[in-house]
Amino acid sequence: MRPVVAIVPVKALDSAKSRLESSLDADRRIALVVAMLRGVLRALESSGAIGGRLVVSPDSVALAIAREAGSDVLRQRGDGLNEALEQARLAVGPGVAIVALSADLPLLDPDDVWSLMAAAARAPVVIAPDRAETGTNALALAADVRLPFAFGHHSFLRHLIAADAADLKVEIFRSRGTATDLDTPSDLEELQRAGWPPIGELITEPMRTEIAR
């Protein structure tokens, strides 16, 4: 299996997961985002299918956490998720396969990553939708496939349309780990019913130091 570089974008921590404001205070939202980022980076590293990890973010703390986890980092210029991904793709350079992966996948494990990359060996474009199959949680592109990033509202359909317009074969990848993102209070309640740690348990003393930076 040919190694790829995983690109993981992370928003500014103090504004992340704003839709959870009714359920979590700012410290716990930050703790949640950091815990998910660390989990995603561990899954990528442990899979054995990823040649490199690049975290792109405007947030100094997020970049420091990624660097401590052994990932390459890139400070985001400008605004917007798709702009950040394009900046990272340019930094990776030509001739390298990439997978753009959401940082908020709390159930992602190494097997999910391995299976996603196995799908990428069969098709130049692999799309992993969210549970509703409206958004995209992972997008794997073969080396030098320049499909435009279209993350955001109805991104699953937008990526499908873009691939069809470019006459590129697409494989749809579905797994619990890639489909389960966390955006709303109901998402959080569902995960905690399934045994995901209570948010308070995620805030360790080192985490409190990071939050205070």
Q: What is the mean pLDDT of each run of 10 residues along the chain (213 residues)?
A: 86 84 82 91 96 96 96 94 96 95 94 97 97 96 95 96 97 96 86 70 49 45
| C-alpha–C-alpha distance, residues 71 and 64, integer Å | 10
Please say whether the dihedral angle defined by the alpha carbons of residues 122, 128, 133 and 134, taken in this order, is positive or negative: negative
Pairing of strands 170-172, 125-129: parallel
Euclidean distance between CA atoms 29 and 17, whole angstroms: 6
Angle ∠(152,103,93) on CA atoms, nearest 5:
80
| Residue among 97, 104, 23, 99 nearest 62 (CA) | 104
List the domain range (segments joined by +) for residue 207: 4-212
Length of the chain measured in residues: 213
Number of domains in the chain: 1
CATH of the domain at 188: 3.90.550.10
Please give the model's pTM, rounded to 2 decimal places: 0.90
